[in-house]
Amino acid sequence: MADILWLASYPKSGNTWVRAFLANLFANRPGPLDINELNRFLVSDQRVGEYETLTGKPYEEIDDEEVNRLRPQAQRMIAASRPDTLLCKTHSKIAVLKGSPTVEPSVTSGAVYVLRNPLDVAPSYADHFGIDLDTAIDYLCDPNNHIPRHDRLTFVYLGSWQEHAASWLDAPGLRRHFLRYEDLKSDPERSFAGLVRFLGLPLDRQRFQRALRFSSFGVLRRLEEQDGFVERSPNAERFFRQGRSGAWRELYTPAQVERLVEGCRDGMRRFGYLDADGRPVEGALPLAQTAGVQG
């Protein structure tokens, strides 16, 4: 059996951007890859085919309790679907739900974790899920937060923003690579080169530069405008919205900022989103000035 290298993040944190870079790197085409082909190169743990195979039932007849119980087997099937290490997108928090792990350790070879300032996550989260900003703030601070099943995608246990990050970045024995959205924005070449090295891939300069260009926000947004994007929520006008860091300053009331910071304070301080006085910063502090990541 092969194993899984997880590409993990809270929703609306840059997971799709990283997938687009990797897919363009793997495809190595002379032009940008169709964004609707991303799942050819990186699969999702929310897909339902494995559950239908395990139960012999259509997904509509499989309840969430059964999905939770079968998740380890489904992930072993995902791992077995390829002969070598498989990159798999997940939004799951590492946890045990009713005795069943959300991330099966026996097929896990490591993880890439993408983190974004929760003040920027919340407006994108609200747009994607068709809720208002106050509700999104509540969700990001809620230890019981989850994404309900929808279409042909399983439910996902998220937990709060800071618990989600800690579950991946503090998991004992997990080989991991940490990416902040803000670092990807400010220095994409350095950040993505670090990812390529972590994956053990050769750093062919021309191929790498093409993948960077073809996965830029402007290109991804243009491709969505031309061809649509299957991952766009029906609640949202577009998937690729602004792609900026710090846009939250134009959207929040002071009370909303205070409420989100209060609910995410420990994680925001740890990962460089608050200054020494506990105030939100523009972008993020250099990682050298933060508490850092274990392992």
Every domain of the chain and the residues it spans: 4-289
Pair 197, 89: CB distance under 8 Å = no
- Report CA dihedral (119, 219, 88, 196) to the nearest 10 degrees: -100
Task: Return phi, psi of residue 189, to 5°.
Answer: -60, -50
Is pLDDT above 80 for 187?
yes
Residue that is written with structure tokens 């792609």 in the block = 243
Q: What is the mean pLDDT of the chain?
A: 89
Return the minimum-mean-pLDDT range out of 112-116, 156-160, 256-260, 281-285: 281-285
pLDDT in tens, 188-212: 999 999 999 999 998 899 999 999 9
DSSP structure class, residue 245: S
Pair 106, 76: CB distance under 8 Å = yes
Number of H helices, E strands in the chain: 11, 9
DSSP structure class, residue 177: E
Calculate the CA 221 to chain-centre distance: 18
The predicted structure's pLDDT at residue 247: 75
Q: What whole-number percentage of the chain has pLDDT above 70? A: 89
Return the minimum-mean-pLDDT range out of 38-42, 72-76, 127-131, 258-262: 38-42
Q: Name every residue whose Cβ is closer than 8 Å to that of residue 273 and which is 6 or more positions away in sequence.
A: 117, 118, 119, 267, 280, 281, 284, 285
Beta strand extents in 17-117 (DSSP E only): 43-44, 86-90, 96-97, 100-101, 108-115
Check residues 29 and 94 and name the one with the higher pLDDT. Answer: 94
The pTM for the full model equals 0.91
Pair 266, 148: CB distance under 8 Å = no
The string of DSSP letters for 106-173 reads GGEEEEEEEE--HHHHHHHHHHHHT--HHHHHHHHT-TT-EEPPBTTB--EE---HHHHHHHHHS-TT
The string of DSSP letters for 91-108 reads -PPS-EETTEESS-GGGE
**What's the average model confidence in pLDDT over 163-174?**
97
Check residues 160 and 246 and name the one with the higher pLDDT. Answer: 160
What is the greatest pairwise CA distance in the chain? 56
Note the CATH number of domain 4-289.
Answer: 3.40.50.300
The predicted structure's pLDDT at residue 295: 44
| CA 31 vs CA 34, 51, 110, 213, 223: distances in Å | 9, 36, 30, 10, 12
What is the CA angle 74-144-156, rounded to 5?
25
Is pLDDT above 50 for 9?
yes
Return the minimum-mean-pLDDT range out of 1-15, 67-81, 134-148, 157-171: 1-15
Pair 168, 111: CB distance under 8 Å = yes
Gap between the Cα atoms of 189 and 254, Å rounded:
35
pLDDT band at residue 292 under the 50/70/90 scheme: low
